[in-house]
Structure 1
Amino acid sequence: MSEPVVLHSKQHVYFDMMDPQHHLHNAEYLVLFERARFELWRALGEGAYPENPDLDWPYVVARNEINYRAPIEHIQPVDIFVTVSRLGNSSLTLSFKMYREDGELAADGITVIVRVDPQTRRPRPWSEKFRSLIAPYCADAKSE
């Protein structure tokens, strides 16, 4: 299998995202990861979800994990790189790497999302159409 497509998302750290210690507040990393995730959805097809039925709306976030590697201590642009590290039956694990403007790794992490049935809110398998759209971003050779 070839190397996965990596989505590059350019984000920005603003003054209102800083904490009293003058660095990016820990919860704001998730906000930036989420913005990058939405750019991935846009890259998969015309329009953002839920308007695009091929994106298998709705889904819920089941897990977030962040490893803080180096502080972001002032307002600056950051680069976030997104890949799919696992595609399960109804779950999807996204991997993120965030770099400061000086090129140092600031954080990495994952978000696990689960597609759910809109009526029952129970897990629902990803469609074949969605699987084909997301396949180029998948880092693992096998999907479950």
Structure 2
Amino acid sequence: MQQDDFRFSQSLRVRWAEADMQGIVFNGHYLTYADVGITEYFRAMGQTYSGETGAKGSDFFAVRTLLEYRSPARFDDVLEVHVRIARLGNSSMQFLIGIYRDTEILVNGEIVYVHADQSNRRPSPIPQVFRDAVSTFERLQPEGRLS
């Protein structure tokens, strides 16, 4: 996974509360960093969440996360959270995540979301408007179907 594979990244600075007594980021915070990156990815793509999300009766739900820790971030580091959709299925999508300090990759991973009906949480097709936004936004087009 190369930084050039990602069109989108979000900067953030490690806060004191996210580090242990040695100044190293606690591993659970990397999922929060990934969530910030995905939220800003949606915003950059023009697909932000709003009151209409719930009104339409469907939403994306995280169903799988996998992070590989390669090197620790430390208090006050400036990190770049790189995000891209690598697979886009009928009702699911796979995000690839790369968290870097300068050019050094600290954490890489994936998060799979399923588009589902909010009332019964059963999968539903990803709307075409979202697919079109991804196709226009991404530098590397997502691979085929997950589900």
Q: Name the counterpart of 1:77.
A: 78
Q: What RMSD in Å do the two structures reach over aligned CA positions?
A: 2.4
Q: Give the letter for the 1:121 counterpart.
A: R
1:5 Cα shift?
5.9
Give the direction of change, closer, same or farther, for the CA distance of 1:105–1:111 in structure 2 (3 Å limit).
same
| Structure 2 residue 46 is the aligned partner of structure 1 residue 37 | no
| Structure 2 unaligned residues grouped into runs of 5+ | none
How many residues are treated as equivalent by the alignment?
Answer: 139
Q: Which moved more, 1:19-28 or 1:109-118?
A: 19-28
Q: TM-score, normalised by structure 2?
A: 0.83
Q: Name the counterpart of 2:64.
A: 63
Give the direction of change, closer, same or farther, for the CA distance of 1:50–1:75 in structure 2 (3 Å limit).
same
- Cα separation, 2, equivalents of 1:141 and 1:20: 41
- The answer to whether the 8 Å contact 2:13/2:79 transfers is yes
- Cα separation, 1, equivalents of 2:12 and 2:22: 21
| Structure 2 residue 99 is the aligned partner of structure 1 residue 98 | yes
Structure 1 residue runs of 4 or more that deviate by more than 2 Å after TM superposition: 19-22, 50-53, 136-144
Q: Tell me the SS of whatever aligns to 1:74.
A: coil
1:117 Cα shift?
0.6
Percent identity of the aligned residues? 26
| Structure 1 unaligned residues grouped into runs of 5+ | none
Q: Tell me the SS of whatever aligns to 2:117.
A: coil
